[in-house]
Amino acid sequence: MTADQRMTLADSIHTNGATPNPWWANAVVYQIYPRSFQDTNGDGFGDLPGITSRLDYLADLGVDVIWLSPVFRSPQDDNGYDISDYQDIDPMFGTLDDMDELIAEAHDRGLKVVMDLVVNHTSDEHAWFQASRDKDDPHADWYWWRPAKAGHEPGTPGAEPNEWGSYFGGSAWEYDPKRGEYYLHQFSKKQPDLNWENPEVRAAVYRMMNWWLDRGVDGFRMDVITLISKHVDANGELPGVGDSARDAGPIGPDGYSSPNPFCADGPRQDEFLAEMHREVFDGRDGYLTVGEAPGISAERNRTITDPANRELDMLFLFDHVEPGGGQSKWTAEPWSLAHLKRCLAGHQRAVRDRGWTSLFFNNHDQPRVVSRWGDDSSEEMRVLSAKAIALLLHMHRGTPYVYQGEELGMTNVYFDSLDQYRDLESINMYHQLTEAGVLSEEAMMDALKAISRDNARTPMQWDATKYAGFTASYAPTEPWIGTNPNKDVINVKKQLRDGDSVLAFYRRLIELRHTNPVVAAGDWAMLDEADPKVYAFVRTLREEGVGGGIDGSGEKRLVVVVNMSSGSAALPPETKDLLGLNMSGAIIGGASADRVLIGNYPAEQVAADLLFGKLAPWEAFAYEL
Ligand code: GLC
Ligand code: CA
């Protein structure tokens, strides 16, 4: 389907709310982690020419947009999320010319290109930060500089302005001897937080964004964008700092308190986003904005994404991929389907009439979903569960995101030793939590196997050669991170030849988003919410012109049923009733294989299973009423 045809479908669909859908309402976005996607010069790092060389694969998969994790100039402390020059490409990835070529080649194939905007912080090597180290420089107030705690010698232990810990380990404050003060960094000490209270900071960011849009990019994924407005008091002060009346939060077993919630979704969040919209996006069209929004409620998501407020198109919420109850991800209880249902239902219900939501299970910070919630213990279960989880996600209302390799059912890597890890969060937290006695070394290794970000960052598996086709087998340098040994079984080349592959299944799901109005725009309602194994819901579209439901009401319904377990399960009562009541009279009490829109078992088996009210392991399908 061409980009034009897709637009026409989007134009013809109206949500149950009042606003006509913009182009991205039935688009699918593919996330690329450039370092691990395709290396073309044998240095062991993926690069921009590598992405360009794989555009045909992506166009063929059917996605509409590619989002690139950061490729800007960076010391690479946090794999590019620490940017030292926003208007240049890191030599590791190529040049600005390579970027221009990638954009042009993508556009030729009807693919849009979205870049990562990392503006809660810069690198400490950015010129703004270097200038800011001088109290007399015009950039002096561009970051969160604070003096040592009263009565303490600057730079000595315990002299930090407050007790906040960094998400990547250690204090969130770093002492700079040149300035004689501390700067705030919620992430690594090479990622100082920018001071968004300063209008010059904001203006500089908007100038840079306009420069990229003018160059041809189609929008931004905005890194931790909900951290830009901090909860300062009337004097502009942070809790626990100086003579602030507020303390900096409860101290955890590792000796630190969390900067969240003091640094998330502060009082000026909406103001900053609306200002950004005015300064950057007003008067443009065809772009996409998606904000990374840890800690944001479904209701706040509705406000921020309500088109009337002119802030952002959509956000990534994280409650569904995070443990509930404020637990740390390293020590969390095992995952539960009840938690997933509660979170996704919350997202869906909040944006029923206005606002929008993104749909994702994987990205470069999450473990592989088939290992996390599916079953990677055998090839048969891996394939079934990867498809089941994909169907579950893609049949919701919203804009789906596919993370590289997810479309193959790539799994966690299960590294055995700490020196195989590259991620600074994984390595720092290993030391911090084992040294503080929070976890034993063995328990921490298990935690890393289950949730380390590096699980998502191993080389893309193109084929079964030594480095999975990510880089040539004879390349002088090994890939920057180990290749998953299961590349022999799980790879693009193999799946392209198999009509029943996970890859083929994703292609079909993406096609349905583009061609089936109920999938794209239908209302969403949960079925059998309390069932511990089965996740079921119904999508309903009532609209003139696309009607023709079997009761003649002009209503189209899709029932989506997923057995989220490796055992069999009973078809739960609400789902059964809904299917039974609407069964075609011609096959009394039976189900028709023709009504199975998509499923991971043969349609005839789905129909038979419906008749007996039983679901096979990971059985998943969408059934048209
Ligand atoms: C976001 C990114 C993550 C990065 C962090 C700091 O959460 O997705 O990869 O480490 O922000 O920029
Ligand atoms: Ca390279």
Ligand 1 atom 12: the closest Cα is on which residue? 81
Active-site pick, 90, 163, 292, 365: 292
> Which pLDDT band holds residue 295 (cuts at 50, 70, 90)?
confident
> Measured from the CB, is residue 187 less than 6 Å from ligand 1?
yes
Cross-strand pairs, 527: 536
Question: CA torsion sign, 129 to 130 to 136 to 137?
Answer: negative
Residues 6+ apart with CB under 8 A from 175: 148, 154, 155, 159, 160, 181, 182
Measure the CA–CA gap between 323 and 412, rounded to whole angstroms.
Answer: 19
Q: Output DSSP code: residue 482.
A: P
Do residues 181 and 145 make contact, with C-beta atoms less than 8 angstroms apart? Answer: yes
Domains of the chain: 29-120+199-229+265-417+460-496 (3.20.20.80), 522-624 (2.60.40.1180)
> What pLDDT, on a 0 to 100 scale, did the predictor assign at position 16?
37
Classify burial at 61, counting beta carbons within 10 Å of its beta carbon; exposed 0-12, middle 13-18, buried 19 or more: middle
User: How many CA atoms within 13 Å lie on the side-chain side of 607?
Assistant: 18
Atom nearest to 365 CA in ligand 1 = 9
pTM metric for this prediction: 0.95
CA neighbor of 413 nearest in space, from 519, 486, 504, 517:
486
Q: Is 224 in the pocket of ligand 1 (CB under 6 A)?
A: yes
- Ligand 2 (ion): residues with CB under 5 Å are 39, 41, 43, 45, 47
Q: Is 83 in the pocket of ligand 1 (CB under 6 A)?
A: no
Is the preceding peptide bond at 157 cis, omega within 30 degrees of 0?
no
pLDDT per position as a tens digit, 107-134: 999 999 999 999 999 999 999 999 999 9
Residue environment code for 312-336, b if the CB has 16+ CB neighbours within 10 A, otherwise e:
bbbbbbbbbbbbeeeebebeeeeee
Cα–Cα distances in Å, from 146 out to 134, 241, 300, 497, 596?
13, 8, 31, 60, 62
Q: With pLDDT > 70 as the criterion, what percentage of the chain qualifies?
A: 93
With bands split at pLDDT 50, 70 and 90, how would you rate the model's confidence at 587? very low
Q: Is 223 designated active site?
A: yes
Q: Dump pLDDT digits (tens) for 151-186.
A: 999 999 999 999 999 999 999 999 999 999 999 999
**Cα–Cα distance for residue pair 65/236, rounded to 1 Å:** 40
Ligand nearest to the CA of 292: 1
In tens, the pLDDT along 422-468 reads 999 999 999 999 999 999 999 999 999 999 999 999 999 999 999 99
